[in-house]
Amino acid sequence: MNPTVRPLTSDRRDEALDVTNRAFDDTPRDYFERHQSADPAWDVSQSLVVEDGGAIVGHLWIADRAMRYGEARVRFGGIADVAVDPAHRGRGHAGRLLEAAVQRMQADGQPLSLLSTGTPEVYASRGWHPVQTARFEGEFPGGDIEWAGGYVVRPVQAADLPTAMRIYADIASDRVGPLDRTEAYWQAMMDWLPRIAPDSEVYFDVLVQVRTVVAYAITELSDDRLDILDGGIEYEDLAIPFLSVWRDRAAARGVSRLTGELHPSSELFDLLRKRAGATLKPSRHCMLRLNSLRGALESVVPELIRRRRRMAPLPGPAFVLNVDGEAARIETPMVNVVIGEPLGNEPVVELTSGQFLDLYLGLPGGYQALDDLDIPSHVDVYLRRLFPNSPFMYWRADRF
């Protein structure tokens, strides 16, 4: 019997979870069950399985999430829990699951797909491209860490969530990449994060001044390092009390190393650069796939219009983006952006999907691709206005 890929059904979920447990022997089975079913958008049918000889031998979950893109939101499929039973590896099952996942995401209107991996070569062959982010490494400082009085760091309480959500939204308002988190999602996140590694401790702290929450942070402490998973810190001074508390916790476990993923322009990184000797290293564990050019463009029209109004409200050109054979027309009339079908007489800008994704996310590779193309200058100007450098930001607290 040929291997078959099909949606998972409730009556066979335990069998699929057993596969993930055998494939990831360093992660408890409870984690996979919890972080799927605790997700407010989860449904058992989001999981795909490979059946071979009547038995489930492979599993993949497509988390249904939305990425913030300034004022717009982009639905994407988060690829997670890709597992093949160790006794059935080397037979193409992972490839079958990924091919079926792409077809499912395209049918379900998810124009992008995001994943995090330590084996990028597995996914690169199926159309996923690395997205460079910045990972910092630092050491906790010695001596006193002084901060202004009136601040208290304490564990988050249910009543704090609305304020933490507002802080998150303010920091993410101009960014590309942060997830669109509902209150239910925030609550679920704190349920599954502590189960990722049983030997680690996850802390969700808030900073309070005169009974008002002014910042929050989510960290994970292991025997090796303290990792910042999310930093809702808008001003450098607000990070100092957190740094003191983090150092005390780490010292109690004999840890001096501090890590995380931050953009170098963030207030938090600025403090860690000065106080903890933090340096940045490129990280390429995030990978993104373009499932639909038209869908990706249509999803972000509200943000493209906002960018037009801020930088170039007058009518602009109409041109075509052709990305790996898929074409979409972009028209820029007065304070508007319209996505449509090519008419046949517009200038054409040809990009690979990797180059387009760099441009779409505001990464340097997008402008480098434009620099190498021979396209009309007015089209080049509008492409850069629609897609300015605006660094991709993705918190590890959102891992799935």
Q: What is the pLDDT at residue 334?
A: 86
151 C-beta neighbours (distance < 10 Å), count? 18
If we measure between CA atoms, which residue out of 378, 371, 290, 373 comes closest to residue 328? 290
Tens of pLDDT along 128-138? 999 988 899 99
If we measure between CA atoms, which residue out of 164, 172, 171, 167 comes closest to residue 70? 172
How far, in Å, CA of 222 to CA of 228, rounded?
Answer: 12
How far, in Å, CA of 377 to CA of 125, rounded?
Answer: 34
Sign of CA dihedral 182, 186, 192, 197: positive
Query: 């460079």: which residue's tokens?
Result: 132
Tens of pLDDT along 232-265? 999 999 999 999 999 999 999 999 999 999 877 7
Mean pLDDT on 142-152? 86
Tens of pLDDT along 181-231? 999 999 998 888 888 777 899 999 999 998 899 999 999 999 999 999 999
Tens of pLDDT along 21-72? 999 988 888 889 988 999 999 999 999 999 999 999 999 999 999 999 999 9
Residue 266 amino acid letter: S
**What's the whole-model pTM score?**
0.93
Q: Which residues 6+ apart lie within 8 Å of 387 measured at CB?
A: 359, 360, 362, 366
CATH 3.40.50.300 for domain 135-283:
no
Mean pLDDT on 104-114? 98
Partners of 47 in beta bridges: 61
| Pairing mode of beta strands 112-116, 72-84 | parallel
Q: What is the pLDDT at residue 109?
A: 97
How far, in Å, CA of 220 to CA of 6, rounded?
Answer: 36
Classify residue 392 by its DSSP letter. Answer: B
CATH class of residue range 4-129: alpha beta
Q: Where are the domains of the chain?
A: 4-129, 135-283, 292-386
CATH topology of 4-129 equal to that of 135-283?
Answer: yes
Q: What is the pLDDT at residue 63?
A: 96
Helix (H) or strand (E) run with residue 135 in it: strand 133-139
Q: What is the pLDDT at residue 1?
A: 66
Q: Label residues 69-101 b or e (16+ Cβ within 10 Å = b).
A: bbebbbbbbbbbbbbbbeebeeeebbebbbebb
* Average pLDDT in the chain: 93
Taking CA atoms, 164 is separated from 46, 71, 154, 236, 398, in Å, by: 29, 19, 13, 17, 15
**For the purposes of burial, counting CB atoms within 10 Å of the CB of 286, is it exposed (0-12), middle (13-18) or buried (19 or more)?**
buried
Task: Give the 3-state secondary structure of residue 185.
Answer: helix
| Pairing mode of beta strands 55-69, 286-290 | unpaired
DSSP for 60-118, please give it. EEEEEEEEEETTEEEEEEEEEEEEE-GGGTTSSHHHHHHHHHHHHHHHTT--EEEEE-S
CATH topology of domain 292-386: Nonspecific Lipid-transfer Protein; Chain A (3.30.1050)
**For the purposes of burial, counting CB atoms within 10 Å of the CB of 316, is it exposed (0-12), middle (13-18) or buried (19 or more)?**
buried
The two tokens of residue 298 are 């249509």
**Residues 234/268, Cβ–Cβ less than 8 Å:** no
Task: Give the 3-state secondary structure of residue 47.
Answer: strand
**Residues 221/249, Cβ–Cβ less than 8 Å:** yes
Rounded to the nearest angstrom, the gap between the alpha carbon of residue 253 and the centroid of all alpha carbons in its chain is 30
